[in-house]
Amino acid sequence: MYATYNLLCNILKENNLSNHIGSIQVEITDGGFGFRIWTNDWIIIFHEYGTGIVGSNSPHPNPTISWVYDKNGHGEKGWKYRKKDGTYGWTRGLPSKHIFYDVEQEIKKYAKDFYQTAINLAITDEQYQSFKNSLRG
């Protein structure tokens, strides 16, 4: 769990989102055998799924929520937005960076390798053959 959280934090830092790390929530589940990591921070969510016409050109690989990329119909012309310093910027949106999705894919890859190794270490060839023979009845 901590390795996953650290990986996620590093990716957020790489994407200049380190000031949003505090919004990441972690919960232990399944009696201590599982965990869940999430955020309700819209800035991170916008970066995850993408926005505007730019986001629609590079959509999220697995949108688990209903997500509309160009909800206000700005298209190629984009829109102005107010920055924290009070000035205005212009954007056509954000590409989907699928930060959480990529971390999830990494976890699945490592989990599969881990469990395959654990099974191979836990069962000897003799035990495996005995089990296989018992299935034949």
pLDDT tens per residue across span 38-88: 899 999 999 999 999 999 888 888 877 788 888 888 888 999 989 889 999
Q: What is the pLDDT of residues 23-41, one digit of tens each?
A: 998 888 887 777 888 899 9
Q: What is the mean pLDDT of the chain?
A: 83
Q: What does the pLDDT read at residue 13?
A: 92
H or E segment at 114? Answer: helix 99-122
Residue identified by tokens 């994407």 is 15
Within 10 angstroms of residue 27's Cβ, the number of other Cβ atoms is 10
- Is-contact 65 88, C-beta < 8 A? no
- Measuring CA to CA, which residue among 38, 73, 39, 35 is closest to residue 53? 73
Residue 1 confidence (pLDDT)? 62
Find all residues with CB under 8 Å of 15, minimum gap 6, and list them. Answer: 47, 97, 99
Beta strands in the chain (DSSP E): 25-29, 34-38, 51, 79-82, 88-91, 93-94
Q: Looking at residue 3, what is its pLDDT?
A: 74
- Are the beta carbons of 44 and 99 closer than 8 angstroms? yes
